[in-house]
Each structure stands twice: as C-alpha cells, then as structure tokens.
Amino acid sequence: MQLFDLSGRRALVTGSSMGIGYALARGLAQAGASIVLNARNAERLAEAAEALRAEGATVEELVFDATDAEGVRAAIDGFEAEKGAIDILVNNAGMQHRTPLEDFPVEAFDRLMRTNVNSAFYVGQAVARHMIKRGAGRIINIASVQTALARPGIAPYVASKGAIGNLTKGMATDWAKHGLNCNAIAPGYFDTPLNAALVADAEFSAWLEKRTPAGRWGKVEELVGACVFLSAPASSFVNGHTLFVDGGITASL
C-alpha cells in the first residue's frame, strides 16, 4: 500500500548495531527505505550493515557518539552535504542502570541522561535543521513503558523516558509548522540485550507475564509496524503522539 511505502526515503537510526535499533532499521528497509546505521563502535556497526546488505537492504554507515553535541552536528551536516537528505530519524540510542535511588551514583545519573535524553535533542536538532529547510521530515523518538509508569530501582531511567515523551511534544509543537511529524514509540518489556538480566530472571519473567495482559515478553519485530506507520504517509496528521506498544501493560492494573 502506498500509505506505508517508504521507497525513496532515507532513514537514520541511532544505536542501530543491535537490539531494537537494528530491528527497526531492518523493518524500515523492508518497507522500501534506504537506511543509515549509527553506533559508536565502527566494527560492530560494519557487521550489522553487512548482515542487512546480505538481505538486500541499501545501507550506509555513520559512526558518531550521539552524546557528543559537536560530533553529532559535524556528522549530520557532513552526511547531508555529501550523501543527501535524511528523511526519517529514529532516536533510539539509550542505556539502563539499575540501582536503588538512594544509592544511585551521580556519574551514572549524568551518563544515563546524556545517553537517553541529550542524544535525542542533539541528533533531533541537527537533523531537523535540514528537514525544516526542505519543509518535510519524520522524527521518531524511542520512549518506554516507563514514560508512563515507574518500577523500583530505575527512577532516573523513568525520568529520562518521561523527558523523551515531553521532548516529543515539544518537537511537534515547534516543528509541525515546518512540515515535520515528531512522534514517539513506547515499547513495553521486550527481549533485548538491554533487558538480558531481566529475561534471565525467572521470578521477574513470571511477574511480567502475569502483569502484562498479553502474557509474555514482546519481540523486537513487533515494534516495526509502529515505526513504519509513523515514518509513512499513513501518519501524516499524527504529531506529538506517544504510541505504546506494550502488550496492554499500561492499560491494566
């Protein structure tokens, strides 16, 4: 369907050498987009790019640290000048640190905020400046079920994802008039490298299965439809929205 066709579009996905970022990049490629993978680790990025090329995807690699504002600006401006337009941005770079709030190290808090919040601002602003000139663009920020809910031991992460939800609203409020659509996807509990310790915890997995109406962990491929929708013409009047993909966990007590 043309409403979901991404042919001729180029999508940059930050933190896309593995996990959710890789799955979203792969899904966007399957919908017709050419993709730009990003990570700090050039070797791991090259491996991910090669795997996607083997599936027939058109892939470019852009190595930069999403928490380095100057490095981000230089990388994005250089890419736009040399390669062309970035039509879709998925701000996926993120991290987790689990410690009771009263013991949470200050340096870990700062690092988590830089990775989860600052990076979305840095990359979003750098890409949006080019999108604004063209009068079109899609920005998708990866939020979390923790945008709406808290859980013990991850209060700073909860704060960071709450910030992503409101940053998304702010982006839409400032940039919709320039033709940009800025939205967020809020995954529930997915089986990813970031959640490996929880997936391996039988007690937590049992709790999660009871707590989630769908009764299971999510699979990263189940986020692709939401990402394609928010990248495609089908969502042309959707702006400032956070789409929860969580098996119903935020709908149920």
- Evaluate if residue 84 carries a pLDDT over 90: yes
Which of 22, 122, 157, 189 does the annotation list as catalytic?
A: 157
- When pLDDT is averaged across residues 174-187 and rounded to a whole number, the result is 98
Please give the Cα distance from 128 to 249 (Å, whole number).
33
pLDDT digits (tens, 9 = 90+) for 32-55: 999 999 999 999 999 999 999 999
- Band (pLDDT 50/70/90 cuts) for residue 206 is very high
Residue 157 is among the residues annotated as catalytic for this protein: yes
- Band (pLDDT 50/70/90 cuts) for residue 11 is very high
CA distance from start to end of the chain:
37
- Band (pLDDT 50/70/90 cuts) for residue 150 is very high
Please give the Cα distance from 59 to 37 (Å, whole number).
7
Please give the DSSP secondary-structure letter assigned to residue 218.
B
Helix-strand-coil split of the chain, %, nearest 5: 55, 15, 30
Q: For the chain, how big is the Rg over CA atoms in Å?
A: 17
Q: Which pLDDT score, from 0 to 100, does residue 193 have?
A: 82
Quote the mean pLDDT of the chain: 97
- When pLDDT is averaged across residues 212-223 and rounded to a whole number, the result is 97
- Band (pLDDT 50/70/90 cuts) for residue 154 is very high
Q: Which pLDDT score, from 0 to 100, does residue 176 have?
A: 98
Position 197, amino acid: A
Please give the Cα distance from 90 to 142 (Å, whole number).
7
Q: 26 or 253: which carries more pLDDT confidence? A: 26
Q: Where are the domains of the chain?
A: 2-245
Token pair of 248 as six digits: 């119903």
What is residue 184's three-state secondary structure?
A: strand
Tell me how long the chain is.
253
Kindly give, in sequence order, each residue whose CB lies less than 8 Å from that of residue 140, ignoring residues fewer than 6 positions away. Answer: 88, 89, 90, 91, 182, 183, 184, 185, 227, 230, 231
Position 58, amino acid: T
The string over 121-140, giving b where at least 16 C-beta atoms fall within 10 Å of a residue's C-beta and e elsewhere, is bbbbebbbebbbeeeebbbb
Q: Which pLDDT score, from 0 to 100, does residue 1 have?
A: 79
Q: Which pLDDT score, from 0 to 100, does residue 179 have?
A: 98
Please give the Cα distance from 165 to 172 (Å, whole number).
11
Per CATH, the architecture of 2-245 is what? 3-Layer(aba) Sandwich (3.40)
Q: Which pLDDT score, from 0 to 100, does residue 45 have?
A: 97
Q: Which pLDDT score, from 0 to 100, does residue 194 have?
A: 78
> Any idea which of 23-37, 157-171, 194-208, 231-245 has the lowest mean pLDDT?
194-208
- When pLDDT is averaged across residues 134-143 and rounded to a whole number, the result is 98
- Evaluate if residue 68 carries a pLDDT over 90: yes
Q: Which pLDDT score, from 0 to 100, does residue 195 have?
A: 86
Quickly count: other Cβ atoms within 10 Å of residue 228's Cβ.
22
